[in-house]
Amino acid sequence: MAKDTKEKILSAALELFSQNGYAGTNIRELSAALGMGKSSLYRHFESKEAIWNALLDEMIAYYAERFGSAEHLPPVPESLEGLTQMTMRMVNLTIRDERIIMTRKVLTLEQYRDPRARALATKHFLTGLTEMFTRIFTGMMEKGLLRREDPQMLAFAYTAPISSLIHLCDREPEKTGDAMAQIEAFSRHFVKTYGGE
């Protein structure tokens, strides 16, 4: 029961922090969103900062479990078209999942204030995707699907533009349709440029 309430608190905190930031969120709003009294929150967390730290713990643990282990790597595509399709599937997931959106937003808002948020932001926005696609592209080169070039450079050149459009969707959700189309066009352009031998 206690575990469950804690989880609900962190979930509501994620929602509010991602909208208004840590400083812009107060305990009264948070407890109201949970339908409980302000003071009840303190049965589960000793302070507002403790809520933030627990939320960050959770985000770090989730990221490590979800993207950190090799077992969760997507399979190397069997074709160039497969790369585009896999990309669109991943992007769709990451752009539609409210929890992932809120995680990106909160990391964006707190990256200059909290060192752990900073480190996780860099993983989320840059190095994580690059490492993941470095492996994928290495596999695709071995299969002869991609030209043999520095796979890390290719992964960076591929993921950074996509990541920037994901940020655009977070910022201006009404542009999601256009952004998705642009990501697909970019992926096909990439495939045309680097595909085959």
Give the binding site for DNA (CB under 7 A).
1-2, 5, 25-29, 35-44, 46-49
Q: How far is CA 60 from CA 149, 179, 187, in A?
A: 32, 28, 29
The partner in contact with residue 2, picked from a second copy, DNA, none with C-beta cut-offs of 5 to 8 angstroms by kind, is DNA
* 5 vs 176, beta carbon nearer DNA: 5
Kindly calculate the radius of gyration of the chain based on its CA atoms and give it in whole angstroms: 19
DSSP 127: I
Fill in the per-residue mask, 69 to 108: x = in contact with a second copy (CB under 8 A), - = not in contact. Answer: ------------------------------------x--x
Given the structure tokens 């655009």, which residue do they identify?
168
Candidates 78, 81, 142, 150: give the one binding a second copy (CB under 8 A). 150
The partner in contact with residue 166, picked from DNA, a second copy, none with C-beta cut-offs of 5 to 8 angstroms by kind, is none
Question: Cα separation of 197 and 190, whole Å?
Answer: 14
Candidates 87, 94, 103, 163: give the one binding a second copy (CB under 8 A). 163
Question: Cα separation of 126 and 160, whole Å?
Answer: 7
- 166, 91 contact by CB (below 8 A): yes
The partner in contact with residue 48, picked from a second copy, DNA, none with C-beta cut-offs of 5 to 8 angstroms by kind, is DNA
